[in-house]
Structure 1
Amino acid sequence: MCSSFDLNFSNFENRKINYLKMKTILVPTDFSENAYKALEYASYLASQIGAKIVVLNSYQIPSGTSNVMINFADILEKDSKEDLAKLLDKLKNIEDFKGVEYIPFSCYGFLTQTIEIASKNHSIDLIVMGTTGASNIKNKIFGSNTLATIKVVDYPIVVVPQETQFSAWKNVILASNEDDSILAVAQKLNDIVGLENVNMDIVSVVPKNEQKADHATLILGLDGYNAQYSFHTEENDSVVEGVLNYTENHASNIIVLHKKSYSFLEGLMHSSVTKKLAMHSKKPLLII
């Protein structure tokens, strides 16, 4: 019950390939405002780099469905495809997205399962998601679907808050306290972006009076990528507070985190502190 389908769009315009290296972006949607914001962000990104976008809608049969409704799955599939067609018809008429190729993908199953199916079918390089879906939970920066995807799916993921405005990835904040994680993220970021094209602020959060790392080995590794980078230390007992304090006071287009920093992501999800939400509301995250 998983399939792409032709919307019979007109021929796509030729686009100049820019600095990013990815070719296919996956955007899951439940047709909520947050999902549309993520799709809009991905469309701006795709228009710059010549990437295509696979737009995924997953659907499930409600538990307890009776045998009388044996064709319910067919109805859900039909609705999913129709809603995808309407959504992409809207996008293709937006002037900034005229050259973007959209591929609708309708699939039965849980979100993480259908992401894997769509990713294998279309050789996905990057996933772009909203922070929360239709069941938006007040005071949570990440919804459960988004966090589950980050935890389970083995692809780079951009998480787009509702208030985010797209800007090219020129100034990047890479947040980690571990040199091994920083180097692993830098290697993957180089595959996606090309480190020679970005300025990186490498931010470590340490408790007050703790000795700062010298990063000698890390510097050797980063210099091999011809990277433009600088090291910064934020003194704070909370990693979440420290990173968000730094991002509030320094210009950047995106925050980059390692999946190993899952405790930080959980902290964002479960935080009910208004200040944290407000500080983070306009800054997308790239989780590698």
Structure 2
Amino acid sequence: MKILVPTDFSKLSRVGANYAIQLAKKIGAEVVLFHVAHFETPPLTHMMSIADVIKENVIQDLTDRCLQLKEELHTMAPEVSIAIQVVEGGPLEDQIESYASHHAIDWIVMGTKGASGLQKMIFGSQAYAVINKSSLPVILIPEHARFKNWENIVYASDLMHPQEELKKLIPFARLFHARIHLLHVLSPDSKQPWDVVKLQNALIQACQYEKINLQVSHHYEVVEEIDDFIADQQAELVALFTHEFTFFEKIFKKSLTREIAFHTWVPLLSMKKAH
């Protein structure tokens, strides 16, 4: 298993790298530190040779910084294999997707600003771009997160394709024998009847995974309810499935009346819905 970790050498990207190295140590994965160098095209042809020399020096400097980060991470987990990759170009999300698709990458782990709320954690420019572009699972690590074994995973779902999505999520849960807490939030005005026990048992049987709990709750503020549920379950990971962010956009349009203080220690796993 390979985990790609984007880094720009900032404190925030280091949070993602620290988490990734501990995760890799626990599950026996490899880590690839990934940096994208962007250069402006020189305006004059005669400047090309100078630009090439500068570019070569910058690439070497960035490679050295990646090597330094690699050595620092190795002190935390000497047994983890760490590779480095510096590429030229942009945007970041395109370079990540291209590299990941050609180098057998399984997951992407990256740090993100989490203190200003679940909404801004997801829709921050880089995080938004990467998870919206990526065909692979992306784990966003809030700035105050520290690695903990995944014992409780909260999975917020619209219940359109729960069996299909659970089958994608269960491999993550199996790594730690985690319990999956599936939450579906309805409007208090909803009259739709739900046999929660019957549906939960059907999902357990269909997915062949015993540790699935289903809860259907009623709340006008969906994000607030998800946030409270995360705290109640003491979750170490939150899972959401996206389809060009239609689910996120739907719930956030209903939740713009207040800023939700997202629990900044809980990583968020984003995976794509099937088309």
1:12-62 deviations in whole A, cap 9, x for unaligned?
A: xxxxxxxxxxx1111111111111001111111111111010110011113
Mapped to 2, the partners of 1:45 and 1:102 lie a distance apart of: 13
Q: 1:273 to 1:280 in 2, by over 3 A?
A: farther
User: Among the aligned pairs, what percent are the same residue?
Assistant: 24
Task: Tell me if 1:78 matches 2:56.
Answer: no
Task: Tell me if 1:247 matches 2:227.
Answer: no
Structure 1 residues 12-91: aligned runs within 5 Å: 23-62=1-40, 67=45, 68=47, 69-71=50-52, 72-91=54-73
Deviation, structure 1 residue 274: 8.3
Moved more, 34-43 or 225-234: 225-234
Structure 1 counterpart of 2:80, one-letter code: V
Structure 2 counterpart of 1:233, one-letter code: V
Identify the residue that residue 172 of structure 1 maps to in structure 2: 153
Mapped to 2, the partners of 1:121 and 1:61 lie a distance apart of: 23
Q: 1:191 to 1:248 in 2, by over 3 A?
A: closer
Structure 1 residues 61-140: aligned runs within 5 Å: 61-62=39-40, 67=45, 68=47, 69-71=50-52, 72-94=54-76, 97-110=77-90, 111-132=92-113, 140=120
The answer (yes or no) to whether the contact 2:150–2:176 under 8 Å persists in 1 is no
1:194-241 deviations in whole A, cap 9, x for unaligned?
A: 389221111011111323533656742432322311111332223222
Task: Tell me if 1:152 matches 2:136.
Answer: no
The answer (yes or no) to whether the contact 1:174–1:255 under 8 Å persists in 2 is yes
3-state SS, counterpart of residue 169 of structure 1: coil
Mapped to 2, the partners of 1:115 and 1:237 lie a distance apart of: 37
Mapped to 2, the partners of 1:254 and 1:284 lie a distance apart of: 5
Identify the residue that residue 283 of structure 1 maps to in structure 2: 266
Structure 1 counterpart of 2:23, one-letter code: L
Mapped to 1, the partners of 2:131 and 2:212 lie a distance apart of: 26
The answer (yes or no) to whether the contact 1:112–1:149 under 8 Å persists in 2 is yes
Mapped to 2, the partners of 1:273 and 1:30 lie a distance apart of: 34
1:239-260 deviations in whole A, cap 9, x for unaligned?
A: 2222112112221110111113
TM-score between the two structures when normalised by the length of structure 1: 0.79
TM-score between the two structures when normalised by the length of structure 2: 0.83
Mapped to 2, the partners of 1:26 and 1:107 lie a distance apart of: 13
Mapped to 2, the partners of 1:281 and 1:152 lie a distance apart of: 24
Task: Tell me if 1:161 matches 2:142.
Answer: yes
Q: 1:284 to 1:274 in 2, by over 3 A?
A: farther
Mapped to 1, the partners of 2:25 and 2:72 lie a distance apart of: 16
Deviation, structure 1 residue 264: 5.4
Identify the residue that residue 203 of structure 1 maps to in structure 2: 183
Structure 1 counterpart of 2:96, one-letter code: I
**Residue 233 of structure 1, aligned match among 206, 216, 219:** 216
Structure 1 counterpart of 2:71, one-letter code: D
1:155-206 deviations in whole A, cap 9, x for unaligned?
A: 01111000111111121111012241x2222111223443892211110111
The answer (yes or no) to whether the contact 1:185–1:257 under 8 Å persists in 2 is no
Q: 1:237 to 1:70 in 2, by over 3 A?
A: same
Structure 2 counterpart of 1:86, one-letter code: Q
Mapped to 2, the partners of 1:29 and 1:272 lie a distance apart of: 31
Mapped to 2, the partners of 1:74 and 1:167 lie a distance apart of: 40
The answer (yes or no) to whether the contact 1:186–1:222 under 8 Å persists in 2 is no
